[in-house]
Amino acid sequence: IMGTRLAVGLWSDDDAAGERAVEAVLGEMRRVDALMSHYKPESQLSQINQRADREAVRVDPELAQLILRAARLSELTGGAFDITYASVGYLYDYRAHTRPTDAEIAAGLGAVDWRHVIVDQEASTVRFSRTGVRIDLGGIAKGYAVDRAIAIVQDMGIVHASVTAGGDSRIIGDRFGRPWIVGIRHPDDPDRVIARIPMVDASISTSGDYERYFDEGGERYHHIIDPGTGRSAGELRSVTIIGPDATTTDGLSTSVFVLGPERGLELVEKLGDVDAVIVRRDGKVLYSSGLGEPP
């Protein structure tokens, strides 16, 4: 679902109730995907991309709210996080190994600016201020779906659970009296773990250059795009963010990846309620002060 692998683990005293909770998680993931997928032409997100340059497109308040949340993150990150990156981003096809020419990037960049997206909360509509704008919530939607899923199992009375969608996880409670352990993988080897983080009541997201990419002429073309250049952000291999909720950690892992090590860590330290593990291109691993340098 959402083009990624899901994992749900939870504790219930009652088998049937546990199964129902797992089903509810899957159902919620499918619902969010149907609303926000940019692959599905009938999704509300695709409706925005098809029509919002000409008219205000009515959407569910939930989608309008998430677009506003993305805009707040754009403001916070000085535009490193920007859902209009897709105005250029759609020209990359990582499976087909195709990418835009310099001229195509230059032509598309004018449409990349989160301020081109105008949300009317009262009317629950979205409109673009110019043509050529496209949006994509891939940098935040999985974390959002994970948060929604956790809220639903909590409503069902579950107090110990872990929900993961791709690189985004949220954990409530503990696992048989101990923390849940989440591993951060090595960027070049899915079976090698560079750090193990014990977690209780927290979220963790990893963004990496190994998720969707192709290599050509010694360059890696991957799915995290610097909105300033229209090209893959080049300084880091992966960014892991630990924080209170998965929408936050998902959005921030993508953001810090674009910001790079110095500006990225500066933002993490400023925010205070999040931590980061950053793998630089040269392999060096950096930790925010809340985690400390492990021995």
Cβ 21 to ligand AMP, closest distance in Å?
25
Would you say 81 and 207 are in contact if contact means Cβ atoms under 8 Å apart?
A: no
Where does this chain bind ligand AMP (CB under 6 A)?
A: 81-83, 85, 136, 138-139, 167, 207, 211-212, 223-225, 227, 250, 253-254, 258
Closest to ligand AMP by CB, 137 or 171: 137
Q: How far is the CB of 169 from ligand AMP (least distance, A)?
A: 12
Residue 232 binding target from ligand AMP, Mg ion, none, CB below 5 to 8 Å by type:
none
* Residue 211 partner contact from Mg ion, ligand AMP, none using kind-dependent CB cut-offs of 5 to 8 Å: ligand AMP
- Which one, 145 or 199, has the nearer CB to ligand AMP? 145
Residues in contact with 253: Cβ distance below 8 Å, sequence separation at least 6, in sequence order: 167, 205, 206, 207, 239, 240, 241
Q: How far is the CB of 216 from Mg ion (least distance, A)?
A: 24
CA distance 1 to 107: 33
Nearer to ligand AMP, 53 or 113 (CB): 113
Q: If you ran DSSP here, which 8-state letter would residue 56 be given?
A: P
Contacts of 165 (CB under 8 A, 6+ apart): 1, 2, 4, 5, 6, 29, 142, 143, 145, 146
**Shortest spacing between CB 66 and ligand AMP, in angstroms:** 12
Interacting partner of 158 out of ligand AMP, Mg ion, none (Cβ under 5 to 8 A depending on kind): none
Binding mask of the shown chain, residues 239 to 278, with x at each position contacting Mg ion by CB under 5 A: -----------x--xx------------------------
The pair of structure tokens assigned to 78 is: 């000085």
Least Å distance between CB 23 and ligand AMP? 25
- 239 and 276 Cβ atoms separated by less than 8 Å: yes
Report d(CA 22, CA 214) in Å as an integer. 34
What gap in Å lies between CA 19 and CA 124, rounded to an integer?
35
**Secondary structure class of 291 (helix, strand, coil):** coil
Query: Whose Cβ is closer to ligand AMP: residue 128's or residue 175's?
Result: 128
Specify the residue, 12 or 206, whose C-beta has the smaller distance to Mg ion.
Answer: 206
For 94-104, b/e burial (b = at least 16 CB within 10 A) is eeeeebbeeee
Residue 149 CB, shortest distance to ligand AMP, in Å, is: 16
Residue 93 CA to residue 19 CA, distance in Å, equals 38
Q: Which residue has the CB atom at the shortest distance from ligand AMP?
A: 138
Binding-site ranges for Mg ion (CB under 5 A): 139, 250, 253-254
